[in-house]
């Protein structure tokens, strides 16, 4: 069964000194903000309104979750700290003299509500802040996660090529705009030093590689070393066969 607010204050709350009833400034501001019933709506869909075991008040759950994420506490540590602090009990709307909710109860409500309730709370908080003119909704800053990735650092040759390309495209647009008689030559398509080196290598027989993949080229004979080795093995086998025939004939 869904519950929104806590029970009536106990007799112990009535006899507490006035100094213990005052909340710190931060908790007082958050308490006034969470006192809006619109923050209970995201949790209503996950509970039945009449049937079932009564849940803890949602106002208590919301304030406990605020303390948990504000001070980075675990569920067990949170419940222990709230039980030892009168001001935190007053902030969580827990009547003095009653028991603090068990950590497993908070875990079950959190797992039951899921991410949908958190998204609903964020939307309600954003709408409330925009209505109070505390937030400009036309500009939203997103917090992203930085992931390490391979970066292609710029080189001098790459920057020079980009600059030449930009200049060539600019000149082409100028000529198309009206300066048709202006002579301009795009030298990016001409043969560069690497192209000339490849052409010279193709014309030089001593620098060519052999048909075999990765095999060194023999300059004097013009043959592959592996080919010469295979031919030598075949010649040795033929000589052994001829010697065997002569031995049989004798």
> What is the per-residue pLDDT for 137?
60
Q: What is the distance between the alpha carbons of residues 213 and 219, in angstroms, rounded to a whole number?
A: 17
Q: Residue 94: its pLDDT value, please?
A: 87
pLDDT of amino acid 67: 93
Averaged pLDDT of the chain: 75
The whole-model pTM stands at 0.50
Instruction: Give the 3-state secondary structure of residue 73.
Output: coil
Question: Which residues, in sequence order, are bridge partners of residue 224?
Answer: 217
Residue 96 scores a pLDDT above 60: yes
Residue 200 pLDDT: 53
- Helix and strand tally (H, E) in the chain? 10, 0
Work out the pLDDT band at 6, boundaries 50, 70, 90: confident
Structure confidence at residue 207 (pLDDT): 44
- Average pLDDT on 43-70 reads 82
pLDDT of 246 over the 80 cut: no
- Give the pLDDT of residue 208: 45
The predicted-structure confidence for 157-172, as pLDDT tens digits, reads as follows 788 888 888 888 888 8
- Percent of the chain scored above 90 by pLDDT? 9
CA angle 31, 37, 41 (to 5 degrees): 125
Distances (CA, A) of 190 to 30, 187, 196, 203: 71, 5, 10, 20
Ordered by start, the domain boundaries in the chain are 11-131, 221-250
Q: What confidence tens digit (pLDDT) does each residue in 173-211 have?
A: 887 777 677 777 776 665 455 555 555 554 454 444 444
In sequence order, the 6+-apart residues with CB closer than 8 A to the CB of 40 are 4, 58, 59
Whether 57 has a pLDDT exceeding 80, the answer reads: yes
């Amino acid at each position: 069964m869904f519950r929104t607010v806590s029970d009536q204050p106990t007799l112990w709350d009535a006899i507490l000194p006035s100094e213990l009833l005052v909340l710190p400034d931060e908790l007082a501001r958050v308490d006034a903000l969470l006192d809006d019933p619109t923050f209970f709506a995201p949790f209503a869909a996950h509970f039945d309104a009449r049937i079932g075991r009564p849940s803890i008040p949602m106002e208590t759950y919301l304030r406990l979750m605020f303390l948990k994420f504000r001070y980075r506490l675990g569920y067990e540590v949170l419940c222990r700290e709230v039980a030892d602090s009168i001001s935190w009990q007053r902030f969580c709307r827990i009547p003095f003299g009653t028991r603090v909710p068990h950590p497993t109860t908070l875990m079950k409500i959190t797992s039951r509500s899921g991410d949908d309730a958190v998204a609903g709370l964020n939307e309600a908080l954003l709408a409330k802040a925009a209505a109070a003119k505390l937030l400009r909704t036309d500009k939203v800053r997103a917090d992203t996660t930085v992931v390490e990735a391979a970066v292609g650092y710029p080189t001098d040759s790459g920057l020079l090529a980009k600059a030449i390309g930009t200049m060539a495209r600019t000149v082409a647009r100028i000529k198309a705009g009206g300066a048709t008689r202006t002579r301009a030559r795009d030298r990016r398509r001409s043969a560069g030093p690497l192209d000339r080196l490849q052409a010279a290598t193709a014309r030089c027989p001593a620098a060519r590689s052999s048909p075999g993949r990765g095999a060194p080229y023999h300059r004097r004979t013009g043959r592959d070393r592996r080919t010469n080795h295979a031919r030598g093995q075949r010649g040795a086998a033929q000589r052994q066969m001829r010697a065997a025939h002569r031995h049989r004939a004798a």
